[in-house]
A = this chain, B = another copy of it.
Amino acid sequence: MAKEKKQPRPKAETPKGFRDYFGAEVEDRRAMLDTIAGVYHRYGFDALESSGVETVEALGKFLPDVDRPNEGVFAWQDEDEQWMALRYDLTAPLARVYAQHRNDLPTPYRRYAMGPVWRNEKPGPGRFRQFYQCDADTVGTASMAADAEICALLSDALEAVGIPRGDYVVRVNNRKVLNGVLEQAAKVIPYPEGDNRRQTIEAAWSEVTRDAILRTIDKFDKVGEAGVRELLGKGRLDASGAYIDGVGLEAAQAEPVIRFLTSKGADNAETLANLLGAVGESETGKAGVAELGEIADLLAAQGYGPDRIVIDPSVVRGLGYYTGPVFEAELTFEILDEKGRPRQFGSVAGGGRYDDLVARFTGQTVPAVGMSIGVDRLLAALRAKGRLDRSAGGPVVVTVMDRDRMADYQAMVAELRNSGIRAEVYLGNPKNFGNQMKYADRRNSPIAVIEGGDEKERGVVQLKDLILGAQIAENATLEEWKERPSQVEVSRASLVDEVRKMLASQSENDA
């Protein structure tokens, strides 16, 4: 203690890239997580909560080959020299948990998990170093029924939290189809038999080329078909005037890729037919198209048509990471950005099939498929659409007119609370009544209860309708003001009933 006094005062600041959440922000998120958990549960998914801390060894991706393996994660050394880290997602812990407990878990294992994850990245606007993930995964089955189920689950979860049908779409693509397309493209040799350049081409179709094509495909959203054509070929002058080198494919080689990206038809059947054309003779590609067909059929049988879930080869996010089907949920309505311009809200969830989850630990390949909902983005979307009711939250405030009668005032709040009404007594310095009203205002309070000595004697209390009061203060005429007095006197005995009545009339007027 004595030592602390000599130190300068610490700064009261959140660490860089972290933030605090207050009141409705916290409660809205909790309500959303509870709703999603309810849907996950209904689908037979079991909750799993692992701790925020894992060994760096178990997290995998960040094996310590330097002094501090903190690239991307927050890591530190335990007292026995072991490196530990905060989890950066919920999938790596699932892999560890499944490998550790697999003998006690059902096969397949459907699990959901929700909670904060941490990234040691440069923070930016709207980008924080701690945020929530909310995942559902099925481990231990290669059946496309699991993939279809994840899509249906995602669709149901979105509707449950308040995104109506038509305001979102779940798009499905497949990495295997892309692989088939790449195989197909590699076979296109744009030179006749005997031409020397044939060999150069075949040799040049390397891992590097594949990666370059993948990166180009990722830009399809931004640059469109013509742009991708240029980038797969010689290159492209981008908007800033810089010249971006292309992959260097001949037009005929690029063609399967373009065909893949633009194969979305009027319905799933047409899309699948187009994709089959794009993959040509590739067995992998054909298997991928078949998987998409199976998913579409399974979903149709459950009533999930293309108005909710649709095969869409233009989904390219995650194609590099996943090994089979890939899903993305997008909100299709427009919101206004910070400059008031309308823009598509975009992606709020995604997932796919990844079949090497547990192999790191056990050497055994275990097929798995899953998805993650970005709850913070979803909350932002609902807020932007005015679909989160943040006004109804303030407590009834019982004011203190006589500080010696605190027991009376606390008895009032107890009555209100016991009837399920959010209420509090003013606990600041009660001397200045104006301060109590300012406090009620800051608390977003719907009603102030007032009981001075005179009221006490007569067995009454005053109820001040603060919402009506605010409306009147803003725009009522004198007549309206007389007609709808914002303060009423009621008997002390009927306090709870009268408060309830006033709250009901407020929410009616609000509706």
Query: Chain A interface (Cβ within 8 Å of chain B)?
Result: 3-4, 7, 9-16, 18-27, 29-30, 34, 37, 41-44, 46-55, 57-58, 60, 63, 65, 70, 74-76, 78-79, 82, 84, 86, 96-97, 99-101, 106-108, 110, 116, 118, 120, 129-130, 138, 140-141, 143, 145-146, 148-149, 152, 156, 297-298, 300-303, 360-363, 395, 397, 406-408, 410-411, 413-414, 417, 420-425, 427-428, 439, 442-443
Q: Is A44's CB under 8 angstroms from B11's CB? A: no
User: When the two chains form their complex, are residues A42 and B420 in contact, meaning their CB atoms are under 8 A apart?
Assistant: yes
A20 proximity list for chain B (CB < 8 A): 48-51, 97, 100-101
B422 & A44 in contact (Cβ 8 Å cutoff) = yes
18 A-B pairs in the complex with CB atoms less than 8 angstroms apart = A4-B63, A12-B100, A12-B362, A15-B51, A15-B58, A15-B82, A20-B49, A21-B50, A22-B46, A30-B34, A42-B423, A51-B116, A53-B74, A53-B130, A138-B427, A300-B407, A301-B408, A303-B414
Closest to A58 in B: B10
Which chain B residues lie closer than 8 Å to A140 at the CB level? Answer: 428
Q: Tell whether A49 pairs with B63 under 8 Å between CB atoms, given A15-B84, A43-B417, A427-B141.
A: no
A50 CB contacts on chain B under 8 angstroms: 14, 18, 20-21
Residues of B within 8 A of A41 (CB): 27, 422
Q: Would B130 and A407 count as touching, CB distance under 8 A?
A: no
Q: Are A12 and B58 in contact (CB under 8 A)?
A: yes
Residues in chain B near residue A34, CB distance under 8 A: 30, 34
A63 cross-chain contacts in B, Cβ below 8 A: 4, 7
A10 contact set on B, CB distance < 8 A: 55, 57-58, 60, 360-361
Partner of A78, one of B15, B148, B417, B420: B15
- Distance, CA A130 to CA B115, complexed state (A): 14
CB < 8 Å neighbour of A148 from B13, B46, B52, B410: B410
**Cα(A324)–Cα(B390), bound, Å:** 37
**For residue A57, which residues in chain B have a CB less than 8 angstroms away from its CB?**
10-11
In angstroms, Cα B27 to Cα A19, docked, is 27
Q: How far is the CB of A448 from chain B (nearest CB, A)?
A: 13
Looking across the interface, which residue of chain B has its beta carbon closest to that of A108? B427
Is the beta-carbon distance between A107 and B428 smaller than 8 angstroms?
Answer: yes
A301 close to B443 (CB less than 8 A): no
Residues on B with beta carbons closer than 8 Å to the beta carbon of A7: 63
Contact yes or no, B13 A424, CB < 8 A: no
Residue contact A18 to B110, C-beta cutoff 8 Å: no
- The answer, among B13, B297, B421, for a CB contact under 8 Å with A100, is B13
Question: Is B44 a contact of A23 with CB atoms below 8 Å?
Answer: no
* Set B14, B108, B120: member contacting A51, Cβ < 8 A: B14
Tell me whether B14 and A100 are in contact (CB under 8 A): yes
- Chain B residues with CB under 8 Å of A397's CB are 44
A417 proximity list for chain B (CB < 8 A): 42-43, 156
Q: Do residues B51 and A19 form an inter-chain contact, with CB atoms below 8 A? A: yes
Nearest CB in chain B to that of A424: its residue: B44
What 6 pairs between A and B have smallest CB-CB spacing?
Answer: A44-B424, A301-B407, A12-B99, A26-B47, A76-B76, A302-B414
CB–CB B76/A49 < 8 A = no
A59's closest neighbor in chain B, by CB? B10
Among B25, B37, B130, B297, the residue within 8 A (CB) of A30 is B37
- A53 with B439: CB separation less than 8 A: no
Partner of A428, one of B75, B78, B108: B108
C-alpha gap A145/B15 in the complex (Å):
35
B363 x A410 contact (CB < 8 A):
no
Closest beta carbon of chain B to A35's beta carbon, Å: 12
